[in-house]
Amino acid sequence: MGLHCNDKEQLVTESIAGEIYDQNADQMVITNTENSSTNEGQSDDHLSIDATDKNSAEEDAYNEWKMRHPSALNKFDKMMSIAKEKKLVVFLDYDGTLSPIVDDPDRAFMSDSMRSAVSKVAQYFPTCIVSGRRRDKVYDFVRLNELYYVGSHGMDIMAPLKCSKNASSSFHEKAIDENGNEVVVFQPAQEFLPIIKEIFEELEEKTKEIPGIMIENNKFCVSVHFRRVDEEYWGVLEEQVVEIANKYPSLHLTRGRKVIEIRPSIKWDKGRALEYLLDTLGFANDGDAIPVYIGDDRTDEDAFKVLRNRGEGYPIIVSSIPKDTKASYSLRDPSEVMSFLLLLFKWKRSSSVDWEY
């Protein structure tokens, strides 16, 4: 179908237990026994001083990192001075960006104030939610009809009716959105649906004895959430997931924050989805358009890379700790994301520049 990835390095070759770690504020290394034994026997005062020093060092490291990835709030006026005569298109990840990261993925609710902020931005700018979750599940969380929704890391896109000229029409089908409008659904991994369902059922059965495990069928990928799984079970989890994934050479493993995912090995990701949506919205070759992409996860790096390669747009990472990223700007957490969105809304509302999309 022209989208398959033949790169053997993307197949199931990674060890999970020796490398899994959370990449945000709740970072937790798999083994830390050396530090635990070192702390034994120390006084509470000593431990308090050590904790203070550690917090201070972490804050210093974060501030140094922000010199290279400055706050999008602090740089807002400069960013908008460049964007004043251009057309902004807003892309937003969901988990960790619009909602906090929680132990139970089914309870990752966004606040009413965040929903209001997103709705206000969508009044003036094309606004797209780009998530690794199922598209319909993301919609159930957000519940805003005026947005565009992208699920399964870009493999399930609901876009305006005019289709991309650069994408194969065999992956498109017409549908009706929640407003009764005719739209096009783009799903480049349709052929994998039976395999994904099969893997989901097999993983549920294989891992059912692991306390705290949650297996999520995100339609075009299977997500294994281990945020509530005790560290002692991680090795067993590794064996079980890799054993199952190895039986399907057309799939590969990827990682997010406390989640392992089995996905089709096709050349499609959040970055490709961003390009596709810009195309369908009429901005693919429009030098006057500036995409703003806000996300917190490894999978968002594909979109950041696209913006870097385009030489235009604002890739913004959401993180409270230093991390390797291709983003140019940063926001600490969802509360700062909401502040940024409200600033964007107020800036556009007060701007004399007006355009419709």
Residues classed as catalytic: 93
10 Å CB burial of residue 329 (0-12, 13-18, 19+) is buried
Phi then psi dihedrals of residue 178, to 5 deg: -65, -20
- Single-letter amino acid code for the residue at 101: I
Query: Per the structure block, which two tokens stand in for 180?
Result: 């009764």
Alpha-carbon distance of 346 to 335, in angstroms, equals 17
Closest CA to 65 of 351, 330, 338: 330
Phi/psi of residue 216, each to 5°?
A: -120, 125
- Counting every residue, how long is the chain? 357
Residue 174 falls in which region: left (phi positive, over 0), alpha (psi -120 to 50) or beta:
beta
Please give the Cα distance from 334 to 238 (Å, whole number): 31
